[in-house]
Structure 1
Amino acid sequence: MVNISAVDLFCGAGGLTHGLRKAGLRVNVGYDIDPVCEFPYKYNNKAEFILKSVEEIKGVDLVKHFPEDHIKVIAGCAPCQPFSNYSRRYSDRASGRSFYHSSKWKLLDDFARIVKECMPDIVTMENVPQLQQHEVFEKFIIKLKRLKYFITFYEVNCQDYGVPQTRRRLVFFASKFGEIDLIPPTHDRDNYETVRKTIYHLEPLKTGESSKTDPLHQCSKLSALNLRRIRASKPGGSWRDWPEDLIAKCHTKSSGKSYSSVYGRMEWDSPGPTITTQCFGFGNGRFGHPKQDRAISLREAALLQTFPEKYQFFPPNESFAFTKIGRLIGNAVPVKLGEVVGKSILNHIQQRS
């Protein structure tokens, strides 16, 4: 039997690691700069957590996590905000810096540096599809090809693999042994996972309430105005369905008319929207519950990210920062997508055995 060990850079709360483990890979350690990640990562994955920036990690740090006779895998998901369309249009413009010279891009450069210093057998990365459009990604590929890696990458519709979201992601592989094929889709339009299948069974909540049996099943409190707005909202609709007196002034301007997906309700029998770091806010996207007059809870967001229902994000009987946990959930790689990555790597290794 082939022995495989993995290290997860930018590990967050453990979505990618949990998926890799479900596929059958052993993940020895996760690195992240956010101390809030430590409990969920260690508790749910029984792996070591190291609080350290990728900029400070050296190849020699990672080598010690790999037994000599194991195939070595480095996995990671560099924070995707630098590559998003929003960041490209606004963030660096506002700071007065050139977008392509932003320090945010250095994370991918550091990832390539670590690969060169450690020379694992396999590298995998998950990110937003927009990354393909940027020079930094081309340079990343060139660097790894110079190290004699075989490169493949795929733009994945996550619905095709059982993730109940309209979410597209870039999945990247590099291997010393040959090109890695992504496993075939497991779902199609006839059997996509839906919001109903994913969260319908959870107990009803009112705005601002928390479950007595599951503290993560807690939703943010709506203002009186937003409560009126959600009551006027239809599943799959938008603020355009509201009476005129409920419409925000910013949406009456030409610059705001295109933002039709904010202040929206999900639909029971469709996949949900892409879960983001602001998924607990009704006004931040189509994050209204399909039936109940509230935004989705943190547990519902985690389930839509395909975390198991028993996945713990904070120590039992301890209070937690709602927005920080929401950020961890929104930033996570969907567990089922991590499992797809793991199965693709295992197939690749088995084919060469």
Structure 2
Amino acid sequence: MRKATVIDLFSGAGGLALGLKRAGFDLRAAVEADKWAASTYRKNLGEHLIEADIQKLAASDLLNFAGLARGECDLLVGGPPCQGFSVQRRGVDEDPRNKLVLEFLRCVEGVMPRFFLMENVSGLMSKRGRPFLDAVLDRASILGYKVHQAKLDAADYGVPQLRKRVILVGELTGSSASFFQFPAPIVSADNYKTVRSAIGDLASPPEDGSPHPEISNHAREAKLSALNRERLKYIPPGGGRQDLPEHLQLPCHRNNPLHRHVEVYGRLEWDRPSGTITARFDSFTRGRFAHPIEHRSLTLREGARLQTFPDDFKFEGNREEVAKQIGNAVPPALAEALGTAVMQALSTMRAVPTKRPSPRTLAESEQITLSLQD
């Protein structure tokens, strides 16, 4: 029996792909527009990647590259850029990145996989993101997909990080039957993996900021100022800007305990999971990203470990570019759990005689209109 096939959109550095590969999937095609993320993906996962803007690719291009016909792909996955839906984001609701969610659905229509999986931030369920979520659900239903949705915390699946994400899984069964179930948590909140379990064994990076001779992507923040080093001396494990003496606080933080950025200038705790690793975890001024005891920000390798990337997974680009790749990735451990659940559903689906619906033609799909695209 052939291996189950997957096409990966908005692939980034490959966290989702790595987890799916571990779950047994055959990675047939991937798409990523960022050159450094694409370089990282190729270095670690292979050459089956199209470096292009997904908005300029036809679904037929994806299928030809993957060597599949419409309706043959087992799983189409993607994590469309999500900053436009972030609950932390300020400003108007209009953000060009939001409509990339609809680009994902355009590819679902063109590929018609047996399953699709889309990952996004919790804000997709917020007032700002809900119209796009409803559009996805409506169009998927018209195409014949039964869609499961859940908000999962990566910590429940062995990731040493509190990271909540919305996961949508659509299945095309051809009947009222449903085969997919979200994976049950593998650890309880009392037994979450901790920062210590993830990075406690790593040697301290060289004091001079040079790369560690044996551990890739493991160097100190080169631009850490003397003032910020002084601030770090006052911040205990689990502490943050509220622990700074007044003369070391930013003017906007002084006598302002309700300031919205409560996690900035924060230090991790050894025996708890980290908070969400973001695209700017490379600086403790951006969140709770200081080492638990050393007076420095996390290294890129430490962030990668908190995301469950293995040490032999090497990232390409400068510090800021690599931090973005790591922070935007789906943790491979979570991806593997989801991939295993889809694989189990595929196995059950193949064993049960059901009639799959005939894939719509692209012309028919194009007649399905969305007000968000008008």
CA distance in 2, matches of 1:189, 1:337: 16
Alignment of 1:240-259 (within 5 A): 240-252=242-254, 254=256, 257-259=259-261
Partner secondary structure for residue 219 of structure 1: coil
Q: Does 1:121 align with 2:117?
A: no
| Aligned-residue offset at 1:63 | 1.9
| Aligned-residue offset at 1:118 | 1.8
Partner secondary structure for residue 55 of structure 2: coil
Question: Cα deviations across residues 161-219 of structure 1 (Å, max 9, x unaligned)?
Answer: 01111110111100112352111111112321110000011111347453122240012
Letter in 2 for 1:303: R
Alignment of 1:58-207 (within 5 A): 58-64=58-64, 65-67=66-68, 71-87=73-89, 89-90=90-91, 92=92, 99=93, 101-133=94-126, 134-177=130-173, 178-205=178-205, 206=207
Q: Does 1:345 align with 2:342?
A: yes
Cα RMSD, aligned residues only: 1.8
* Residues 305 and 311 in structure 2, CA contact (< 8 A), matched pair in contact too: yes
Letter in 2 for 1:105: N
CA distance in 1, matches of 2:11, 2:183: 23
CA distance in 2, matches of 1:61, 1:164: 38
In the alignment, structure 1 segments of 5+ residues that lack a partner are 93-98, 315-319
Q: Does 1:292 align with 2:294?
A: yes
Alignment of 1:200-349 (within 5 A): 200-205=200-205, 206=207, 208-221=209-222, 222-252=224-254, 254=256, 257-314=259-316, 320-349=317-346
Letter in 2 for 1:286: R
Question: Cα deviations across residues 53-78 of structure 1 (Å, max 9, x unaligned)?
Answer: 11112111122214469552110000
| Aligned-residue offset at 1:253 | 5.6
Alignment of 1:19-38 (within 5 A): 19-38=19-38
Give the equivalent residue in structure 2 for 1:96. Answer: none
Letter in 1 for 2:218: H
* Residues 20 and 339 in structure 2, CA contact (< 8 A), matched pair in contact too: yes
Select between 180-189 and 138-147 the one with higher mean Cα deviation.
180-189
CA distance in 2, matches of 1:105, 1:168: 19
| Aligned-residue offset at 1:240 | 1.4
Question: Cα deviations across residues 228-282 of structure 1 (Å, max 9, x unaligned)?
Answer: 1111101111221122211111101648634221111100010011101110101
CA distance in 2, matches of 1:246, 1:176: 57
Change (3 A) 1:185 1:207: farther
Letter in 2 for 1:145: S
CA distance in 2, matches of 1:47, 1:151: 31
* Residues 264 and 284 in structure 2, CA contact (< 8 A), matched pair in contact too: yes
Change (3 A) 1:328 1:217: same
Partner secondary structure for residue 57 of structure 2: coil
Change (3 A) 1:308 1:343: same
Matched pairs, number: 339
Q: Does 1:16 align with 2:16?
A: yes
* Residues 73 and 111 in structure 2, CA contact (< 8 A), matched pair in contact too: no
Partner secondary structure for residue 247 of structure 2: helix
Change (3 A) 1:251 1:179: farther
Letter in 2 for 1:138: D
Select between 68-77 and 232-241 the one with higher mean Cα deviation.
68-77
Letter in 1 for 2:5: S
CA distance in 2, matches of 1:157, 1:38: 27
Select between 294-303 and 199-208 the one with higher mean Cα deviation.
199-208
CA distance in 2, matches of 1:274, 1:85: 13
| Aligned-residue offset at 1:140 | 0.9
CA distance in 2, matches of 1:253, 1:83: 30
Select between 160-169 and 258-267 the one with higher mean Cα deviation.
258-267
CA distance in 2, matches of 1:39, 1:173: 28
Partner secondary structure for residue 18 of structure 1: helix
